[in-house]
Amino acid sequence: EINVEMGRKEYLHRNISRILTHFKEVPPKHKVKIGTVVSKINIDDLVNIGNFLFRNPALYKPDVWRVYQFEALKEGSKNKEMYQISDEQFEEACNRIKKEFPDVTIDPRSNQDHSNAYFFITPDLMIQTVDTSHKSFADLTTVTQEDLTRLIKERTETARRAEQNRKWIISTIAK
């Protein structure tokens, strides 16, 4: 019910269950990361979500649980008051689940952590960065490879932060 209340599709929980059940039967050859956006709607349900993901013997246990602080961008800005949590609330929630699931790799991403830390490709093939809004900087249908390389190199801070956001892959390999 919480997924639907947060604007997610009804089948999301069922699909995650099916995928993790399949991975339990046929272990993947890659790392598995599950992401949860933390908002006012689900902040008190995180332990239940963790129990479902990590204490259900029928399911493959994901290698990383990445939790994101709700960020009021695009569609989210319409319901900011309904979903937004403070930095302190997010930090407390992350500490609570880390204490409850000490053997799980939990990788929190506050709004500050993931602002300007990704390159996105939209369905219409625009490349964007995100800080307080989505900002397109190249159209993949028209940009040359040389210009694209230059445009990405100009965004050194975004590239550095994007690399940092992939450290979970290395940390799970080391375990």
pLDDT digits (tens, 9 = 90+) for 81-138: 888 999 999 999 999 999 999 999 999 988 887 777 778 777 678 888 877 667 888 9
Q: β-pairing, 106-109 with 120-121?
A: unpaired
Task: Please report which helix (H) or strand (E) contains residue 69, including its range.
Answer: strand 64-69
pLDDT at 128: 84
Q: State yes or no: pLDDT of 173 exceeds 80.
A: no
Q: State yes or no: pLDDT of 4 exceeds 50.
A: no
Distance of CA 135 to the CA centre of its chain: 19
Nearest to 63 by CA among 97, 30, 91: 30
If one compares 175 and 88, the residue with the highest pLDDT of the two is 88
Contacts of 138 (CB under 8 A, 6+ apart): 126, 127, 147, 148, 151
Asked whether the whole model's pTM tops 0.95, one would answer no
Nearest to 90 by CA among 74, 106, 75, 79: 106
